Structure 1
Amino acid sequence: MKGLNGKTVIITGGGGGIGRAVCARFGEEGCNVAVLDRDQAAAQATVDLITENGGKAKAYAADITDYAAIETTVAAIEADFGVPTVLVNNAGFDRFMPFLKTEPQMWEQLIAINLTGALNMHHVVLPKMLEAGGGKVVNIASDAARVGSSGEAVYAACKAGLVGLSKTLARELATKNVTVNVVCPGPTDTALLKGVADTANNPEKLLEAFKNAVPMRRLGQPEDFPGIIALLSSDDANFITGQVISVSGGLTMAG
């Protein structure tokens, strides 16, 4: 992709699943990859994967819901690699449960990770992009934000909020050489999905239902996402902003 080599990229939730695959792709593109995850060991495993293949990366353990910790972490990334001009907000968390059976404590946890954490990252990183003359943000939402998903009401609400935030920031920053776009995964074969399924009465039946809902009749794989995310982060996408793109095997088709 044009313009990625040498860029400093922050990927949240980079310790596994989609995040790890995305980190690996940016490493292949010659970026300085800041792998941010609250699990230091998982983040380091991603870094090891990148460096073994000749890339540059470093692990940063931080909780995205802690604004002060993010300020400290982003400052450390800048000291190590230079100003971050690509941000991929990928970290997420979900539990599968009908809304009327949920409790406010669960809402707070879901909102903190899926929405407040992304707000923190934008608020800390965007000023640095502006000072550097521009940058790219790719937010990982969910097809649940576009069409709803039974058992994921609060998660879907958070991801819909992320879509609205992204479109608003895309408008506010359009003349500042900062683009903000959204990628919406459909059901994807990750630890997160397995964890969600484990909270259901019949996990195997739920996973089969997810698969059958996809026209391609398979779950997404982490490797299905890095291409579009790298594209939206590159100079090839300089005139693309405020867009929401589903990567879901046809589960969502929006014109």
Structure 2
Amino acid sequence: MMRNSLRLFWVLNCMMIVICTFAVHAHAADIRQQISAASTIEQIYKRGKIRVGMDVFVPYAMKDKNNELIGFEIDVAKQLAKDMGVEIEFVPTKWSGIIPALVANKFDVIIGGMSVTPKRNLKINFTNPYYYTSQGLLANRKMTEGFTITDFNSPDVSIAARLGSTAAVAAKENFPKAKLRLFDDEPAAVQEVKNGRVHAMVGGQPLPFNMAADSPATLAAFDDQLLKEPISFGIRKGDVDTLNFFNNWIEIAKSKGTIDKLYDYWFKSTEWKSLIE
């Protein structure tokens, strides 16, 4: 009798273990489904539109003669939307506030020439880099005649950069003794150099080279590479599915030569200038 009772006890125990195991797995599956459904990539598909945060600066994103957005990052984002089979909405945002706007869900992703830094990475996640850029120096030719790159590191020199950008970081690191003036956008910084209110500005290439080529009598670009940076998409934290999708898309686009083709057009040629002049 006791043997039968023990057998029944063990059978019931095993049944309870099996039931609990199934319940745990079912609960885990529900959690995974909830997380997946809440991911940005799923929301984009349900909405049928991807919202892209960006700021306006040449030649990454700018307005053409018809007041339409064009540029390298614009084309990258459009290709992404096309491959996803969704529409695209660009959300112009001041650079200094673009990360808080992403965190606040004002848009789905930052595609705007954003370089990866540890400080930024504490607030948002980054994809794999889709290209690399560098910071260069654009100077007022008359004010800096005879200057070498080291001459800019002086208390008597003023240098402009865009607020919240890695250009500002590069300016501080390379010219710690100079006076740093920060502006909301790069066109304002360029204008300060042209007007002789600052000696130079630090900005992402090819802006310094392009500006100097447009105004050779007024502006000069230095060949020195101040900072090489990986450029990535920015997304909100805790979204593995979205990060996985964007990383895979970047690798596919790079392997097909899509990114290189766009980069060559916007950064190595001046054909696009006819679209804005």
TM-score when normalising by structure 1: 0.31
Point out which structure has higher relative CO (alpha carbons under 8 A, 6+ apart). Answer: 2
Question: Over alpha carbons, which structure has the higher Rg?
Answer: 2
